[in-house]
Amino acid sequence: MDLNLKNIDKELFEYIPSDNKDLNTVVRPSETYWQDAWRRLKENKVATFSLFALILLILISIIGPYLSKFDYRTNDINSLNLSPNSEHWFGTDELGRDLYVRVLYGMRISLSVGIVSALINFVIGVIYGGISGYYGGNIDNIMMRFVDVLYSVPTVLYVILLMVVLGEASLSNIFIALGISYWVGMARIVRGQVLALKQQEFVLAARALGAKNFRIILRHLIPNSMGPIIVTLMMSIPSAIFTEAFLSFIGLGVSAPMASLGVLCNDAITTYRTYPYQLFFPSLAICIIMLAFNLFGDGLRDALDPKMRK
């Protein structure tokens, strides 16, 4: 390229007087962190779509069963193992129970397992991580060593052991087992955030004004680390759903006549050659739920925490 500065026409340049007035005016209203995140989320088509899919799934699992005249527990000896038809939309199982209703109930269970256990591990993780990060020193050391120990063994093993100990495989026991096993990751995230935040001036200011430790943790440190917390929370939902399906599949899930999606799959697997649809519908439901939560979680992470993006 033949670029010689001397050849450029001086006319092309314009003199701007050094008047700083314009520089200090705010052109657009400033966005808060949440507005910013919401805008980024809306721009992400996949995430918005999966958010709608999730809302739809929740609505279907709540309303759907009422659209059918069958319930999940009534056996019907005259309609065993029916293929999908106009009356039984997803067919029936080996006891003549309507699969459509059973799959929707299974979705209900899976969704509530995901959400409730996420909330439990949110509470435990935030308190544990908050205390550990805020107090630091030996308390932090001991608390984190314990977390490290738990972390080095897969959570599924704990959940299985807890389910065996709790005995009866009821829904509330699954909540308990999942809730008290999955908080470890959350505690680590919260601790990291609190550790970084507690050095900042606003914490010092709060302390100078006489705020108690717990107030500082709950009102100042936790709200400021909400972004990563929500992302972790959102990511823990599909893994809880997955673990529940896994547990049900190895025979530790909710007991009959209730059935989660994992139980439905497990029941269907012995007859998958003859009645593949009995396996197909619950499997499809699990996959859709997992996909929606994973994609939405990814989008949420990108929106709330651009640094975590990979």
Partner 1 sequence: MVKYIIKRVISCIITMWVVATITFLLMHAVPGGPFDREKKIPPEIKKQIEARYNLDKPLWWQYQDYFKHLLKGDFGPSFRYIGRSVNDLIKDGFPVSAQLGGVSVLVSLLIGIPFGIISALNQGKWQDNFVMFLATIGITIPSFVLATLLLYFLSFKLGLFPSMRWGTAKHYVLPAIALAATPTAFVSRLTRSSLLDVIRQDYVRTAKAKGIPDKIVVYKHALKNAVIPVITYLGPLVAGILTGSFVIEKIFTIPGMGRQFVESITNRDYTTILGLTIFDSFLLVSFNLLVDILYVVFDPRIKLDN
- What is the contact surface with partner 1 in residues (CB under 8 A)? 146, 148-149, 152-154, 156-157, 160-162, 164-165, 167, 238, 242, 245-246, 249-252, 262, 265, 269, 272-273, 276, 279, 283, 286-287, 290-291, 294-295, 310
Q: Which residues partner with 300 through β-bridges?
A: none
CB of 17 to partner 1, least distance (A): 40
What is the Cα 299 distance to its own chain's centre? 12
Alpha-carbon gap, residue 283 to 280, rounded angstroms = 5
**Residues with Cβ within 8 Å of residue 222, at least 6 apart in sequence:** 126, 130, 190, 194, 229
Contact, 252 vs 258, CB < 8 A? no
CB of 285 to partner 1, least distance (A): 10
Q: Which residues partner with 98 through β-bridges?
A: 92
Nearest to 129 by CA among 201, 225, 19: 225
Q: Which two tokens stand for residue 94?
A: 């080996």
Nearer to partner 1 (CB atom), residue 79 or residue 132: 132
Nearer to partner 1 (CB atom), residue 129 or residue 238: 238
Q: Count Cβ atoms below 10 Å from residue 250 Cβ, excluding itself.
A: 12
Count of all residues that appear for the chain in the document: 310
Nearer to partner 1 (CB atom), residue 49 or residue 249: 249
Nearer to partner 1 (CB atom), residue 84 or residue 218: 84
Nearer to partner 1 (CB atom), residue 162 or residue 304: 162
Bond before 84 cis per omega within 30 degrees: no
Nearest to 263 by CA among 179, 158, 173, 171: 171
CB of 53 to partner 1, least distance (A): 12
Nearer to partner 1 (CB atom), residue 77 or residue 165: 165
- Distance of CA 163 to CAs 217, 255, 282, Å? 33, 13, 23
Contact, 111 vs 59, CB < 8 A? no
Nearer to partner 1 (CB atom), residue 8 or residue 164: 164
